[in-house]
């Protein structure tokens, strides 16, 4: 994007990113730990989200921000994992002071990854605790993409079921414009196909019958318009926008909403009843920044992060990675 430069996501200060995953079970989690309680917002556009504590981000709620966000596999079963983040933060005296203790404010969203690997192994509090330790001890892990953390169990292009789906993954991307920095972290687990946001070319998604190229999910759905089959509901793309801009909770909600345009540019179809698409936004710094500019950048970096996560994904458990097909 003209007028900007790409930066490592770690150049946005105020957070630590860590991962933990089980390759054999094909599931995992990724945690964003905030250095300080940070203003946050969220926008849910899919019809089937699995989430925890998102009402905290309503501008009318009393909470001023979050201490952490957890992205995990396991569908709704994975929501237990946030307990590990709570434990980690409480042990370090981090949270909202209620007199007798401090209560960490932690939001979580989950992807459905039960059909890949093992359905009986899900992220739990122990795995999330390990992700928190990783965030503190292994700074290089914040730059990993593809089959890492919550990206381990992600798949895409699932309209015709798992047989013709491909591997998704975890992606990150960040830009700097002047002194303003905006980045995205996303777990790409969509029912739809994935497109290069700059060229419009399909780079992953619904495989053809020979599994050597693509079909267009939108076209297949139109063919079935008179009698849509039961949709494979194991989807949801979840992500987080990070910025050093100074914003309120209400403004962070708007940034999260605008960032969904990045999903729309890179995933088609998106926001269906078979997806639980969710984006969070965190204001981590004090840089003066225009809301509309940051929202516009948020959409772009989110779309690029979707592309990066899919292109970094490796073939596993019978699901073909884009790098092995293109």
The DSSP annotation for 125-159 comes to HHHHHHHHHHHHH-GGGGG--BSSGGGGG-EE--T
Phi, psi of 95 (to 5 degrees): 155, -175
Phi, psi of 2 (to 5 degrees): -60, 140
- C-alpha closest to that of 151 among 276, 309, 272: 309
pLDDT by position in tens, the chain (length 326)? 889 999 999 999 999 999 999 999 999 999 999 999 999 999 998 777 899 999 999 999 999 899 999 999 999 999 999 999 999 999 999 999 999 999 999 999 999 999 999 999 999 999 999 999 999 986 677 889 999 999 999 999 999 999 999 999 999 999 999 999 999 999 999 999 999 999 999 999 999 999 999 999 999 999 887 666 566 556 789 999 999 999 999 999 999 999 999 999 999 999 988 788 999 999 999 999 999 999 999 999 999 999 999 999 999 999 999 998 87
What is the spatial distance between Cα 95 and Cα 79, in angstroms, rounded to a whole number?
Answer: 19
pTM over 0.85: yes
- The 10 Å Cβ neighbour count of residue 107 is 25
Domains by residue range for the chain, with CATH: 5-324 (3.60.70.12)
């Amino acid at each position: 994007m003209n007028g900007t430069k790409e930066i490592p996501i770690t150049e946005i200060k105020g957070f630590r990113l860590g991962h933990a995953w089980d390759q054999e079970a094909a599931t995992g989690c990724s945690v964003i730990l905030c250095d300080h309680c940070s203003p946050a917002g969220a926008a849910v556009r899919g019809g089937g989200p699995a989430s925890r504590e998102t009402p905290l981000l309503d501008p009318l709620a009393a909470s001023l921000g979050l201490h952490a966000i957890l992205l995990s596999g396991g569908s709704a079963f994975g929501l237990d994992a946030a307990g590990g983040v709570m434990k980690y933060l409480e042990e370090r005296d981090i949270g909202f002071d209620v007199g007798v203790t401090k209560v960490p404010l932690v939001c979580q969203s989950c992807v459905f990854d039960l059909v890949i690997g093992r359905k009986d192994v899900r992220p739990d509090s122990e795995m999330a605790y390990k992700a928190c330790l990783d965030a503190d001890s292994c700074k290089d892990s914040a730059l990993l993409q593809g089959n890492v953390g919550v990206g381990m169990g992600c798949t895409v292009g699932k309209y015709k079921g798992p047989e013709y789906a491909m591997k998704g993954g975890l992606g990150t991307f960040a830009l700097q414009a002047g002194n303003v920095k905006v980045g995205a972290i996303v777990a790409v687990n969509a029912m739809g196909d994935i497109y290069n946001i700059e060229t419009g070319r399909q780079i992953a998604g619904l495989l053809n019958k020979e599994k050597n190229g693509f079909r267009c999910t939108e076209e297949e759905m139109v063919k079935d318009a008179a009698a849509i089959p039961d949709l494979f509901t194991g989807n949801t793309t979840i992500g987080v926008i990070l910025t050093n801009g100074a914003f309120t909770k209400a403004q962070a909600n708007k940034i999260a909403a605008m960032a969904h345009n990045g999903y729309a540019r890179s995933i088609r179809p998106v926001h269906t009843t078979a997806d639980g698409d969710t984006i969070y936004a965190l204001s981590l710094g004090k840089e003066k920044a225009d809301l509309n500019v940051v929202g516009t950048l948020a959409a772009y970096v989110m779309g690029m992060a979707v592309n990066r996560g899919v292109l970094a994904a490796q073939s596993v458990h019978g699901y073909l990675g884009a790098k092995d097909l293109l």
